[in-house]
Structure 1
Amino acid sequence: MAANIAPSNNIGSMRPPGARSLPQRASRLRDNARMHTPTASLVTRTARGWALPGIANLHSHAFQRAMAGMAERQTDPADSFWTWRETMYAMAARFDPELVHAVAAQLYVEMLEAGYTTVCEFHYLHHAPDGRPYANADAMSQALLRAARDTGIRITLLPVLYMTGGFDARPLSERQRRFGHEVEAYLRLLDVLRADAGERVRIGCALHSLRAVPPQAMREVIAALPNDSRVHIHIAEQMAEVDECVAVRGARPVQWLLDNADVDARWTLVHATHLDAAEVQGIARSGATVAICTTTEANLGDGLFPLRDYLDAGGRWGVGSDSHISVSPVEELRWLEYGQRLRAQRRNIASSMRSPSVGTTLLQGVLASSADSTGFAVDDRIVLDAEAPILSGAVDADLVDRWIFSGNANVVRDVDVAGVRVVEDGRHRERDAVAARYRRAIQALLG
């Protein structure tokens, strides 16, 4: 990726023959919204409690669950994402497949107990710490798939292409070496994983970021993907990334991506925190989903996504727990709204006269984008405990608001995935065994 690359449409060949025009994509977006947005009440009263659809977690780095709470001491007067990343690299260097499996299984149990029934696993811990592939090149990916099978969660596994250390095409650092792939080896990994996918597994593609994937490599990978493959990418999370992209490519990251790739409903843009008005409109028109990871973005000091402007533009979005300093859809949704209130200095931002309930508006948003972002069209179910004190006196019309904006007690009673009950009376069926393995894994990682 040379420093003199200028913005242009020279990646336009990423668009396959017969690609949809902008009006066609907009029409598909409207069709998707009609197909996936609930038109009736989200809430059903059952003998076990209040039933709601399961929630998709659109962005996860499972191994980072092991370091939650361990990066909260000052290392620099200007601590930021970039200093946090040093702590993350140190933890990442300690993992092998068995430790990944143990930590991921614990995380997936926590997700299921909180009401997440699908996870998009953005996976870049591919090789041994020295960068050499394992004897089975998919060993780390298989550890994640095994954790999903063991716990019963649906998984969209997104192996990450990670090639360069910045927009200037500098090589990966020693600590990044285990993340790296060349295009041919990366596509081979996808082929191996797709051949072994099951009913609750989807294999998609993750481009780590524009700074980590050169334009030519992006073009080759996108051209090689099946038409139904999901594509996820980190983008515009930090202003340093935005500034470097402008300096090297002459365009902001989201602007460059929209100009140079056929971004449509198969794409999920992770974070997209720093957008200008044209980028907000551009993402909305494309039909792509934005994965907003509010608790992680707050923890890292990333900034606030422009939610109200994006909703007004008709944009699609969902939530993810990312680094897992919180594993709760309630907290992601609550703080997505609260961050907007703090910035606007008024209440009830994610609402309108047409959809006056903030909680229902938020929940409908995450449900509407789920199928396109994950590749699953599902009817998983969670049941909230009707006897929980915070839900006393609740009715259909206020149940979702009561759930999201009424304290921190987890009131998820049951969770059914693909018709199988994996959580009953608030406990995952394998909670104790998984937790025991997790404790041993943490001792090994910290020892």
Structure 2
Amino acid sequence: MTAIHAEFALLSGGLVSNVRVVLDGSTIAAVIPSAQREANDISVSVLLPAMSNVHSHAFQRAMAGLAETRGPGTDNFWSWRTVMYRFALSMTPDHVEAVAAQLYMEMLEAGFSRVGEFHYLHHDQDGRPYANPAEMSERIAAASMEAGIELTLLPVFYAHSNFGGQAPAEGQRRFIHDLDGFAALMEKTEILVAGLPGGVLGLAPHSLRAVTPDELSKLLHFKKGGPFHIHAAEQTKEVEDCLAWLGARPVEWLLDNAPVDQSWCLIHSTHLSENEVQRLAASGAIAGLCPITEANLGDGIFSGPSFTEQGGCFGIGTDSNVLISVHEELRMLEYAQRLGLRSRNIIAPPGGSTGLALYQHALRGGSYALGTESGIAAGAPANLISLDLSEVPWLPPAQILDHWLFADGIRISDVWIRATRLVHDSRHVKRDEIQRRFHAAMIDLMGQHGH
């Protein structure tokens, strides 16, 4: 057995001093507060449960920082999407696997232990299915195995370009399925995910733009108890188009017409009425927030305090993967609330730590959204991160998470996944070989795009 002795550890009730955590196999065997360090223990300053990443499009890591040149008019989500389609159409399975492995390695170094891969890049470059319909899903799974991150795979059903069952656009040809083709994909991915340590299979209708009400109803029959994710109300245009076609706002329509419950995760949920906020919180569904991407794309600001005050649960994701960081996602979430409301310490309860509240909210919501569990407790998966306080030895314990999220001087030192240490001294154990393949893939892709 391996044991970790932490000067401070985040347990269910908050930070506790002198905690000894015993690991056995892939789980936590025992948690002993007020314990002395024993001779062979690994010693850390702060031990936290690792975070779940509720929403990722792995292939988009290839275009991080490459969509920041302004076009001839006003840039917005829809102009960004045009750049994204160009990358999606150019990537081979080898490219996707190399990019995903790099991304998943970066997620581990950033403190994520599990990724919800909202996977819709299914077909060959000409739009035809591969001989193996799960070819791209297998590449995502291989990348997760190489990096060591746990995977909740969310195969995406995508059939239309807009509300009303409009024909897909040419740039979407690699994403598109009919229900029979998607059923064949789900059969393959069920077998694939069963072979992954800690693997979870869910499914994801892309959005009400891309899926008709009839198709959504039929997709519910594919659900076998796993998570069910859908983009909802990310953009004001999406809300306006949904009102015009279905006579209701996206989240309102889903709550009225679908069995939305705690197994659902509504990604973004940026533009909600107060009634939608109340009903979404009451449903038990998770709001999948991606604050850095939502800021990068100019989406808008989620109704954070109203949602959490009514018992709503949220997780965080990295979505377009322009920047990979647990603490910066949480910081952006809080700062967006502060800018919108012109106030401070929004998510925290009265008298409470903002950093602690943000981390605990996202930890709980992330595990629910990805069909897993988290926390430092006997029997829980041994997915852990340690923070290095060597540059801030003067820091009071109550301010550790606040300082990590909102200041500088604290870094993630080590990460354990299923009790195996994959990050040591802030560096993934396979960084050199994974990065080498990523660089080769990117040089090839940039050459294709004329850079």
For 1:17-416, list aligned pairs within 5 A: 39-42=12-15, 47-197=43-193, 198-226=196-224, 228-353=225-350, 356-377=352-373, 378-387=381-390, 389=391, 391-407=392-408, 411-416=411-416
Aligned counterparts of 1:177 and 1:66: Cα–Cα separation in 2: 19
What is the deviation of 1:426? 0.8
Aligned counterparts of 2:134 and 2:45: Cα–Cα separation in 1: 41
Distance 1:422 1:397, change over 3 A: same
Q: Deviations over 1:367-387 (max 9, x none)?
A: 111332111223410001131
What is the deviation of 1:399? 1.1
> The residue matched to 1:178 in structure 2 has which SS?
coil
What is the deviation of 1:78? 1.5
Aligned counterparts of 1:216 and 1:165: Cα–Cα separation in 2: 16
Aligned counterparts of 1:109 and 1:311: Cα–Cα separation in 2: 31
What is the deviation of 1:42? 4.4
Q: Deviations over 1:396-442 (max 9, x none)?
A: 321111111113x6610000011111101111010010111000000
Aligned counterparts of 2:241 and 2:16: Cα–Cα separation in 1: 46
Answer yes or no: is the 8 Å Cα contact 1:68–1:324 preserved in 2: yes
Q: TM-score, normalised by structure 2?
A: 0.88
Aligned counterparts of 1:418 and 1:299: Cα–Cα separation in 2: 33
Answer yes or no: is the 8 Å Cα contact 1:42–1:52 preserved in 2: no
Aligned counterparts of 1:410 and 1:77: Cα–Cα separation in 2: 41
- Runs of at least 4 residues off by over 4 Å: 42-46
Q: Which amino acid aligns with 1:385?
A: D
What is the deviation of 1:67? 0.4
What is the deviation of 1:168? 2.4
Q: Which amino acid aligns with 1:352?
A: P
Q: Deviations over 1:172-225 (max 9, x none)?
A: 111101101111211221121112222221111011000101111111110232
Aligned counterparts of 1:43 and 1:404: Cα–Cα separation in 2: 19
Aligned counterparts of 1:130 and 1:396: Cα–Cα separation in 2: 56
Answer yes or no: is the 8 Å Cα contact 2:403–2:410 preserved in 1: no
Correspondence for 1:14 = none
Distance 1:372 1:194, change over 3 A: same
Q: Which amino acid aligns with 2:279?
A: G
> The residue matched to 1:196 in structure 2 has which SS?
helix
Runs of 5+ consecutive residues of structure 1 not aligned to the other structure:
1-36
> The residue matched to 1:367 in structure 2 has which SS?
helix
Aligned counterparts of 1:144 and 1:42: Cα–Cα separation in 2: 36
Aligned counterparts of 2:91 and 2:240: Cα–Cα separation in 1: 33
Correspondence for 2:422 = 422
Distance 1:356 1:217, change over 3 A: same
Aligned counterparts of 1:75 and 1:167: Cα–Cα separation in 2: 27
Instruction: Calculate the aligned-residue CA RMSD, in Å.
Output: 1.4
Answer yes or no: is the 8 Å Cα contact 1:308–1:350 preserved in 2: yes
Answer yes or no: is the 8 Å Cα contact 1:38–1:364 preserved in 2: no
Q: TM-score, normalised by structure 1?
A: 0.88
Which segment is superposed worse, 43-52 or 426-435? 43-52
What is the deviation of 1:252? 0.3
> The residue matched to 1:297 in structure 2 has which SS?
helix
What is the deviation of 1:44? 5.6
Which segment is superposed worse, 237-246 or 185-194? 185-194
Aligned counterparts of 2:252 and 2:341: Cα–Cα separation in 1: 26
Q: Which amino acid aligns with 1:216?
A: D
Runs of 5+ consecutive residues of structure 2 not aligned to the other structure:
1-9, 20-42, 374-380
Q: Which amino acid aligns with 1:296?
A: T
Structure 1 or 2: more strand by fraction: 2
Distance 1:381 1:132, change over 3 A: same
> The residue matched to 2:66 in structure 1 has which SS?
coil
Distance 1:379 1:76, change over 3 A: farther
Distance 1:44 1:326, change over 3 A: farther
Aligned counterparts of 1:342 and 1:152: Cα–Cα separation in 2: 37
Aligned counterparts of 2:431 and 2:109: Cα–Cα separation in 1: 9
Distance 1:45 1:303, change over 3 A: farther
What is the deviation of 1:255? 0.2
**Could you say which structure has the greater relative contact order, defined with CA pairs below 8 angstroms and 6 or more residues apart?**
1
Q: Which amino acid aligns with 2:430?
A: E
Aligned counterparts of 1:299 and 1:422: Cα–Cα separation in 2: 30
